[in-house]
Amino acid sequence: MHNKSLTELSIALRQRQISSVELTSLFLDRITRYGAPLNCFITVTPEMALNQAREADKRLQAGDAGPLTGIPLAHKDIFCTKGVKTSSGSKMLDNFIAPYDATVVEKSQAAFMVMLGKANMDEFAMGSSNETSYYGPVKNPWDLQAVPGGSSGGSAAAVAARLTPIATGTDTGGSIRQPAALCNLTGLKPTYGLVSRYGMIAFASSLDQGGPIGHSAEDVAHLLNIIAGFDPRDSTSIDRPKEDYTLQLNQDITGLKIGLPTEYFGEGLDAEVGKVLEQALKELEKAGASLHDIHLPHTPLAVPVYYIIAPAECSSNLSRFDGVRFGHRCENPKDMIDLFKRSRGEGFGAEVKRRIMIGTYALSAGYYDAYYLKAQQIRRLITQDFKQAFHQVDVIMGPTSPTPAFNLGEKTDDPLKMYLSDIYTLSVNLAGLPGLSIPAGFVKQRPVGLQLIGNYFSEAKLLNVAHQFQQRTVWHSAIPKAYQ
């Protein structure tokens, strides 16, 4: 059962081949067996999960069930869950029990899905390798010496090892797509505003977006149906008609125009990764799509722009963690200044401190115009590059990551080298576009992801293209040997 798709699990539950309690117990047993070595969960919630599964079974028995009723999932530990620790991977929130549910959690519960637990992550979603977590690094199920990608590495590792059928993640600069690529999964970063950010602990508010991580485009489409939609509690949520993202999956892609940015296939891309992508694109050509060279000239500026805007926003968002209202508080402070200094000094890790300092500097008097304002102006140019490209093509494709998964500790001493891991994903967040990473093959037994980028609210089209690719290939169904 742990290798079945969401559609297959849904059919099995409805036909009473298995109960939700039995299915939930199966995955809880796998978490007990494999979870600790992978370090992919911060909190496991067996009692809550089994209670939710019993309620789901009642719904299934009464014939009052939705498509995902009774199916387990894991939430990234950045989504508030009422009565459960929500740490955001930080010592600062190690003692924080959320008093309410995030909208994403609320929606999954309303669909009577079953929460297995909270997945490990880079601290406050700041990282590309899941090595900055207060709870230690997550391991990649394909190679325990390799990183799973970040910041949603716990979610990705848990899905890849079949410890959960599907999971939620968040993507600020590639944090769903990059771990999906490094763990051989399908991960979607939706259009900014499509999925509510209410109850999602903020990193960079104009960039953060929640989304699903699963085995296939079909699985991802099913969960997106649940978590997408307008939320009046989130001022950035888009009020638009709901879609069924599974309806277009089987449409023919003959005549589809695929744009290949020359900036994505030049210097910096691993040669072996390039060969894998070349073969993947040939499969899409066989399916009737055509390939077209395009230009996104401001792509090289995405890294410096992102690392001005994101730290600036994080320095503002994280100012609330001061040791007074909630979160970590130092012992025996001498005065208020000592309380602030020591609580934040003890509670935040090195990467978070680095970004807070960069952001505070960029927003300070005398530097705001030179750094933050200029970065926002270039952000507009990056957005215009995409708008012009979509006048020529239907979707844009390229690598998700310049290399396969690198080894644990390989880049921790060189932040700039680490930041370049997200060179192909950052622009999508800066422009607010949807992006999807799908399995495309392997290099030295480590997975490679193909990134699909669409125009605003074109998630259904991206999932359609991905599904058609996955109907013709087997990469997405590959399973790490140790977890079969």
| Domain presence at residue 50 | yes
Q: What is the pLDDT of residue 440?
A: 98
Q: Report the C-alpha gap between 244 and 222 in whole angstroms.
A: 8
Is position 330 within any domain?
no
Tokens representing 370 are 């030179």
| pLDDT given at position 233 | 98
Structure tokens at 37: 């070595």
Q: What is the mean pLDDT of the chain?
A: 97
Which is nearest to 475 in space by CA: 436, 455, 448? 448
Domain count, the chain: 1
In this prediction, residue 325 carries a pLDDT of 86
Q: Is 331 part of any domain?
A: no
pLDDT tens figures, 166-177 = 999 999 999 999
Predicted pLDDT of residue 335: 95
Helix axes 302-317, 374-389, angle to 10 degrees: 120
* Per-residue pLDDT at 226: 98
pLDDT in tens, 85-118: 999 999 999 999 999 999 999 999 999 999 999 9
**Active-site positions?**
76, 151, 175
Beta bridge partners of 260: 293
Distances in Å between the alpha carbon of 209 and those of 189, 370, 400, 430, 465?
7, 27, 17, 11, 22
Q: Quote the DSSP letter at residue 130.
A: S
Question: In the Cβ-directed half-sphere of 293, how many Cα atoms lie within 13 Å?
Answer: 5
Residue ranges making up the domain that contains 251: 6-255+394-483
Residue 183 placed within a domain: yes
Interval 186-205 mean pLDDT: 98
pTM of this prediction exceeds 0.95: yes
Res 416: pLDDT: 86
Q: Which residue has the tokens 């297995």?
A: 116
Query: What tens digit of pLDDT does each residue of 409-465 get?
Result: 999 989 888 999 999 999 999 999 999 999 999 999 999 999 999 999 999 999 999
For residue 459, what pLDDT is reported? 98
- DSSP helix/strand/coil, 131: coil
CATH code of the domain covering residue 40: 3.90.1300.10
Would residue 403 count as lying in a domain?
yes
Taking residues 257-274, report their average pLDDT: 96
- Which DSSP category does 190 fall into? P
DSSP assignment string, 95-119: T-B-SS--HHHHHHHHTT-EEEEEE
Q: What is the pLDDT of residue 218?
A: 98
| Spatial distance between the Cα atoms of 156 and 159, rounded to a whole number of angstroms | 5
Give 329-373 pLDDT, tens digit per residue. 999 999 999 999 999 999 999 999 999 999 999 999 889 999 999
Is residue 269 assigned to a domain? Answer: no
Angstrom distance (rounded) from CA 220 to CA 225: 9
For residue 396, the SS3 value is strand
Establish if 473 belongs to a structural domain.
yes
Paired with 447 in beta bridges are: 442
In whole angstroms, what is the distance from residue 298 CA to residue 386 CA? Answer: 10
Within a domain: 417: yes
Q: pLDDT tens digits for 59-85?
A: 999 999 999 999 999 999 999 999 999
Contacts of 484 (CB under 8 A, 6+ apart): 3
Handedness of CA 326, 330, 335, 340 (dihedral sign): negative
